[in-house]
Amino acid sequence: MKIYYVSRDYSPITGLRYCKKTSHSGEDFYHKKLNGWFAEAFQNKEELTIVLDGGEDGYGPSFLDESFGNLIYDFSRDVVERLLHIDSTEDPEWGESVYEETFPVWEESRKAGVEPEKTEEHEPWYKLVGDKLELKVWVHKSE
């Protein structure tokens, strides 16, 4: 099992939902770290734990929703729930809100084909197509 700490492996301070509004946003975290971490775990058939504890001023709901929601959009709820563990001992409600609110809502969006908004151009990222990972820019920055 791979374990990553958001505060240590990404940033001790996190922002809001989109890159265009704040630094260290949920969108930024997803594209710079979480997508790659999860793709690696998927390829290696191992579980992935994301530890939320240790951040300097906690996490905004929009940061969590955007980062973990994008994961659902690109990999599906079924696959994500099978491989991902969110460790948030410091505040269990962070993890609970992701499992109980973000996952179902983003799964609905994924099924409905509603693309997530991108506020910056990102490097190619992984998406599960069938049972294979494909790497490309799936969505461009919205106008």
Partner 1 sequence: MFRDWIIADYLQASQLVVGVLEIIVTAFMAVWVVRSVQRKLENDRILKDYLARELIALRADVRTFLENLINGSLKGKVIKREHHLLSIRMKDLLSVLNKRYNVDKQCLKSYRMNLMKIVEEDDVFQQKFESEDFVTPLKETTLKLHDLRVKNDHVFNDILLKIYGEKI
88 part of the interface to partner 1, by CB under 8 A:
no
Q: Which of 9, 46, 53, 93 binds partner 1 (CB under 8 A)?
A: 93
The reply on whether position 140 binds partner 1 by CB under 8 A is no
x-or-dash string of contact with partner 1, 17-56, rule CB under 8 A: x---xxx--------------------------------x
Tell me the C-alpha distance between 52 and 28, whole Å. 16
Under 8 Å between Cβ of 68 and 86: yes
Q: Cα dist. 4→1, 19, 36, 66, 105 in Å?
A: 10, 22, 12, 18, 25
Binding residues (CB under 8 A) for partner 1: these are 15-17, 21-23, 56-58, 60-62, 90-91, 93, 97
